[in-house]
Chains A and B, each alone.
Chain A
Amino acid sequence: MAKKRVVTTKINGRPVEFLCEPRQTLLEVLRENLDMIGTKEGCSNGNCGACTILIDGKAVDSCLVLAVEAEGMNIETIEGVASADGLHPLQQAFLEEAALQCGICTPGLIMSAKALLAQNPDPTEEEIRFALAGNLCRCTGYDKIVRAVQSAAKMGCASAAK
């Protein structure tokens, strides 16, 4: 087994240092080493998007990133989306629009939507569908998810996201 490495990152605004094996993915380290189970594993090969996190503001499948690559990166996960003041507009919109059924894909979808709205505060339906195409949901048929993102955009999600 290769030697373990120390990696220094920022996760949800706080500096985090962890020890990992070179073969461990960032998803595995988040879940197994750091006990941050909000990021979900659906396929471990980048197909389903359940493990989406933000790295330096970009939506990324954390199962496709090796943990050692995270050195110096700024990572955001679902655990950091709500604040002490309450839920993020996207989270509120997902609840109000009934945009989740089983909920396993929800953290990943919220992270992808957050990245989209930060970049494009007033997306069209087409742009929302394109931005979320990497996040599979098997329960909802996506209708209410798209509406939730539209609703969050209207609530001024972009300003809240900053």
Chain B
Amino acid sequence: MATAESDKTGLSSKGKYKVIGTRPIRPDGVDKVTGRARYGADIRLSGMLHGAILRSPYAHARIKSIDTSKAEQLEGVYAVITHKDFPDASDKIAELGEGSVNLKHLSSNVLADDKVLYKGHAVAAVAAETTHLAYEALDLIEVEYEPLTPVLDVRKAMQDDAPILHENQRMEDMSPDATTSDKPTNIYKKFFFEQGDPDAAFEKAHIVVEREFTTATVHQGYIEPHAATAVWSAEGKVTLYTCTQGTFTVRQQVAELLGLPLSYVKVIPTEIGGGFGGKIRVYIDPVAVALARKSGRPVKVVMDRASVFEATGPTPGSWIRMKLGVDAQGKIVAGDTEIAFESGAYPVSPIGAGCMCVFSCYDIPDGRIIGYDVCVNKPHSAAYRAPGSTQVAFATESVVDEICEKLGMDPIEFRLKNASVEGTRRVDGVAYPRIGLVETIEAIRDSEHYQTPLAGPNRGRGVASGYWMNAGLKSSVTATVNGDGKVSLVEGSTDIGGSRASIAMQFAETLGIPMEDVVPAVVDTDSVGYTDVTGGSRVTYATGWAAYEAALDVQRQLCDRAAEFWEVDSSEVTYDKEDAAVKGPDGKSFGFVELAEKVTQASEPVVGRGVSNHNEPGGAFGTHAVDVEVDPETGKVKILRYTAAQDVGTAIHPSYVEGQVQGGVVQGIGWALNEEYFYDEAGVMRNASYLDYRVPTCYDLPMIDPILVEVPNPGHPYGVRGVGEVPIAPPPAAIANAIYQAVGVRMRHLPMSPPHVLHEILKKEG
């Protein structure tokens, strides 16, 4: 393992580096502003057919029969498939980097087996000459359903008499007093964590507040719908073009579901138009492959927007009971929570992560966390930016605010008194390394925003903190030194938000060369070593580390080549990154470009290799302050000002770090104020369009002010911490606390949309 170069106690990267901390133009930028970048749906191949998918009109039904004969006879139709075209999947669990999936469930989700479990569940698929023709063919497929009663709410699904989604499911109970039952249930798993003796600690508490919270199902909302294009070769090999957060993860899922050798599946990543956790699990990729196999032609499948909402992973709706107790000085003495997440049609949801995040920001000596993973008739939930953290932060941070009010204590002072620091042991057992929560709270306290009083009627200010643990996992890169002194950097991490830049910058920093001399390429699964998903805020941390290792490898090879040229022992040669030069005895020196040219002409090629599999990603914390104005006539909440402080470790490219914070905040604002899956009693989503689902627009928002706090991660050569996920967690709670300050109502349901806020205002007014 490499030695960390960062100053382990320093609080800023400023002035320490040549490349890190600068703001170069991203390498893929020009293609993306000129329309040349190729995304999932932009693939066009010779002889390509177009696929379409038939989806269930019912939220819960048994499939009695499927007759595809008429569709098959339509002129221009080349293949029709159903679940029968997939081999029997086993009950094996596949780890996907950020979350795992049971392959049997995955297979039934891709094309329904004997039951459909949500409206929009895929049932059959067609490949035809045009998209229009493929959709016409869908109308000719006859499916006989036996409709069943759906269950759409997590608490109802937990009741004994609830309709059951999976008759063979039994609850796995991790609590100490677990009993086994042979009764079918929608509860897949009960999590249990306990530290100390919370019941005794509550007895001694000065103030105890216990509240219930609910949050609606929301979607990642990436603008690019899923798209996959498959080519099947007669020798049984597959080439798949797809927009994904993880090519190797797609390779694994497709190989497992279709019973192919892993190495016979080549996944070529297109650019990806957003993912946020939602483009890790496969939906249409295996369908495109099966259609290509059956038709013998390349097949492209592109989802329509309604299907993206109705049939791809949203984040779980939730119910949470939150109880906190403090002593007279305002120190938290006990916490107790129950969290139930809707995993959707299949287990599992991010409930485990929710349990890890719920008390993450506070030192709670005695605490208990119970979590439930519960199936309901909605699409199978997927990761969404800090999966599970936003729901639980809403509950914890709202109760903290109520406690502050009862104590008469400033919410910043309370947080400073109780914040997790290095060594704090979370209720779920993890002890923190060096973290920067306190620094984010102080940054908000000292901000111009927080120091400026807020005036005016129906206005209020709220504060909240949030956490995400981040991921490490595996990454690979290779680096070829070219004769012109530039370097081709080959990587496997698909670039969702500027990671070509953040990886190239760490590589350039390590060699002391300009970032513009590094030419990154994101390549297919045959062309680079194994690389886990772009998720878990891991890419700049882990692939950046692999690039750092590759640069060290290049340094070593250049030193060896120079030693050969100078006919000295390589131990006498060193790489000087300040000068980007190789230096030997008696003042001998080769500049990087000079040596690159010489090596290319007269020596073995220099190809650096770097891999990483580290697991000290350095958890990330953020603290946010928001000012709102509430219209008491309509219940509409307007965001007046927003400041987000976050410990980002080291900001490699500050502009894109700020962008991650701003983007996460705005997704959190959408979750807080507008977004929800609105279902009717039959389980039909009634707002499966952007217009009705209503993500935030430009016109809804002010500027979002980020404060980048840099507490370097001791577990990374450049102190990098993941930054992408944590900013989505605090906004709903911060806004709820601000609404209380503005109009005196405590919002305990998300979204805090006008009808819900108005309802609370009217209730308060009697």
Residue in contact with B273 in the complex, picked from A103, A135, A140, CB distance below 8 Å: A103
Closest chain A CB from B676 CB (angstroms): 16
- Which of B22-30, B119-127, B360-368 lies at the interface with chain A? B22-30
Indicate whether B671 reaches chain A with its CB closer than 8 angstroms. Answer: no
Contact with A along B660-685 (1 / 0, CB 8 A): 10111111000000000000000000
Chain B residue with Cβ nearest A41: B41
Q: Which of B26, B33, B44, B666 has the most CB of A within 10 A?
A: B33
Indicate whether A121 reaches chain B with its CB closer than 8 angstroms. Answer: no
Indicate whether A62 reaches chain B with its CB closer than 8 angstroms. Answer: no
Indicate whether A87 reaches chain B with its CB closer than 8 angstroms. Answer: yes
Whether A138 lies near B29 (C-beta < 8 A) is no
Q: Apart from A38-B35, A96-B25, A135-B698, what 20 extra A-B contacts exist at CB < 8 Å?
A: A37-B44, A48-B690, A77-B35, A81-B34, A91-B30, A98-B655, A98-B656, A101-B659, A103-B33, A103-B273, A104-B273, A104-B274, A105-B273, A132-B698, A138-B222, A138-B276, A138-B663, A138-B667, A140-B666, A143-B703
Chain A residues bordering chain B, tally (CB within 8 A)? 56
Whether B271 lies near A102 (C-beta < 8 A) is yes
Closest chain A CB from B261 CB (angstroms): 32
Indicate whether A10 reaches chain B with its CB closer than 8 angstroms. Answer: no
Indicate whether B704 reaches chain A with its CB closer than 8 angstroms. Answer: yes
| Cα distance, A142 to B276, chains bound together (Å) | 17
Given A95-B33, A98-B498, is A139 in contact with B274 using a C-beta cutoff of 8 Å? yes
> Which residues in A have their C-beta under 8 angstroms from that of B305?
42-45, 47-48
Q: Which of B223, B224, B691 has the most CB of A within 10 A?
A: B223
| Cα distance, A81 to B30, chains bound together (Å) | 12
Residue in contact with A42 in the complex, picked from B23, B225, B656, CB distance below 8 Å: B225
| Cα distance, A139 to B25, chains bound together (Å) | 18
> Which residues in B have their C-beta under 8 angstroms from that of A21?
132
Contact with A along B702-721 (1 / 0, CB 8 A): 01100000000000000000
Whether A48 lies near B223 (C-beta < 8 A) is yes
Residue in contact with A101 in the complex, picked from B25, B30, B36, B663, CB distance below 8 Å: B663
| Cα distance, A84 to B666, chains bound together (Å) | 37
Top 3 A-B pairs, shortest CB-CB distance: A38-B35, A104-B273, A141-B666
Contact with A along B624-668 (1 / 0, CB 8 A): 000000000000000000000000000001011011101111110
Tell me the chain B residues, 398-412 only, with Cβ under 8 Å from chain A.
none
Given A133-B699, A143-B704, is A82 in contact with B34 using a C-beta cutoff of 8 Å? yes
Chain B residue with Cβ nearest A139: B663
Closest chain A CB from B242 CB (angstroms): 15
| Cα distance, A39 to B36, chains bound together (Å) | 10
Closest chain A CB from B689 CB (angstroms): 6
Residue in contact with B659 in the complex, picked from A38, A91, A98, A136, CB distance below 8 Å: A98
Q: Which of B220, B304, B689, B698 has the most CB of A within 10 A?
A: B698
> Which residues in A have their C-beta under 8 angstroms from that of B220?
138
| Cα distance, A133 to B701, chains bound together (Å) | 10
| Cα distance, A94 to B35, chains bound together (Å) | 13
> Which residues in B have their C-beta under 8 angstroms from that of A134?
697
Whether A102 lies near B695 (C-beta < 8 A) is no
> Which residues in B have their C-beta under 8 angstroms from that of A94?
29, 33
Tell me the chain A residues, 25-84 only, with Cβ under 8 Å from chain B.
31, 35-45, 47-48, 50, 77-79, 81-82
| Cα distance, A138 to B659, chains bound together (Å) | 11
| Cα distance, A133 to B302, chains bound together (Å) | 26
Whether B223 lies near A50 (C-beta < 8 A) is yes
> Which residues in B have their C-beta under 8 angstroms from that of A100?
29, 32-33
Indicate whether B622 reaches chain A with its CB closer than 8 angstroms. Answer: no
Residue in contact with B274 in the complex, picked from A91, A102, A144, CB distance below 8 Å: A102
> Which residues in B have their C-beta under 8 angstroms from that of A138?
220-223, 274, 276, 663, 667, 695
Whether A146 lies near B35 (C-beta < 8 A) is no
Residue in contact with A102 in the complex, picked from B33, B38, B497, B664, CB distance below 8 Å: B497
Contact with A along B108-145 (1 / 0, CB 8 A): 00000000000000000000000010000000000000
Chain A residue with Cβ nearest B50: A32
> Which residues in B have their C-beta under 8 angstroms from that of A41?
41, 225, 302
| Cα distance, A41 to B273, chains bound together (Å) | 11
Chain A residue with Cβ nearest B661: A141
| Cα distance, A91 to B30, chains bound together (Å) | 8
Closest chain B CB from A129 CB (angstroms): 5
Indicate whether B760 reaches chain A with its CB closer than 8 angstroms. Answer: no
| Cα distance, A48 to B698, chains bound together (Å) | 12
A residues with CB within 8 A of B: 21, 23, 31, 35-45, 47-48, 50, 77-79, 81-82, 87, 91, 94-98, 100-107, 110, 128-130, 132-146
| Cα distance, A32 to B528, chains bound together (Å) | 32
| Cα distance, A42 to B698, chains bound together (Å) | 17
Indicate whether B496 reaches chain A with its CB closer than 8 angstroms. Answer: yes
Whether A40 lies near B273 (C-beta < 8 A) is yes
Whether A91 lies near B34 (C-beta < 8 A) is yes
Closest chain A CB from B673 CB (angstroms): 14
> Which residues in A have their C-beta under 8 angstroms from that of B44?
35, 37
| Cα distance, A132 to B696, chains bound together (Å) | 12
Given A42-B223, A104-B223, A104-B274, is A141 in contact with B35 using a C-beta cutoff of 8 Å? no
Chain A residue with Cβ nearest B40: A104
Whether B33 lies near A101 (C-beta < 8 A) is no
| Cα distance, A53 to B556, chains bound together (Å) | 52
> Which residues in B have their C-beta under 8 angstroms from that of A42?
223-225, 273, 305, 690
> Which residues in A have their C-beta under 8 angstroms from that of B275?
102
Residue in contact with A47 in the complex, picked from B272, B663, B690, CB distance below 8 Å: B690
Whether B132 lies near A45 (C-beta < 8 A) is no
Whether A87 lies near B30 (C-beta < 8 A) is yes
Ordered by A's residue number, 5 sampled pairs between the chains whose C-beta atoms are within 8 Å are: A31-B41, A40-B224, A95-B29, A102-B272, A139-B659
Contact with A along B208-236 (1 / 0, CB 8 A): 00000000000011111100000000000
Chain B residue with Cβ nearest A147: B703
Whether A102 lies near B222 (C-beta < 8 A) is yes
> Which residues in A have their C-beta under 8 angstroms from that of B703?
143, 146
Whether B273 lies near A133 (C-beta < 8 A) is no
Whether A44 lies near B26 (C-beta < 8 A) is no
Whether A101 lies near B223 (C-beta < 8 A) is no
| Cα distance, A36 to B44, chains bound together (Å) | 11
Given A96-B25, A139-B663, is A130 in contact with B34 using a C-beta cutoff of 8 Å? no
| Cα distance, A61 to B222, chains bound together (Å) | 18
Whether A104 lies near B23 (C-beta < 8 A) is no
| Cα distance, A110 to B703, chains bound together (Å) | 19
> Which residues in B have their C-beta under 8 angstroms from that of A130?
699
> Which residues in A have their C-beta under 8 angstroms from that of B496?
101-102, 139
Whether B662 lies near A141 (C-beta < 8 A) is yes
| Cα distance, A44 to B222, chains bound together (Å) | 14
Given A141-B665, A144-B655, is A102 in contact with B224 using a C-beta cutoff of 8 Å? yes
Whether B33 lies near A47 (C-beta < 8 A) is no
| Cα distance, A143 to B704, chains bound together (Å) | 6
Whether A38 lies near B689 (C-beta < 8 A) is no
Contact with A along B30-60 (1 / 0, CB 8 A): 1011111111011010000000000000000
| Cα distance, A77 to B305, chains bound together (Å) | 23
Whether A137 lies near B655 (C-beta < 8 A) is no
Closest chain A CB from B300 CB (angstroms): 11
Contact with A along B259-284 (1 / 0, CB 8 A): 00000000000011111100000000
Chain B residue with Cβ nearest A144: B659
| Cα distance, A82 to B34, chains bound together (Å) | 7
Closest chain B CB from A31 CB (angstroms): 8
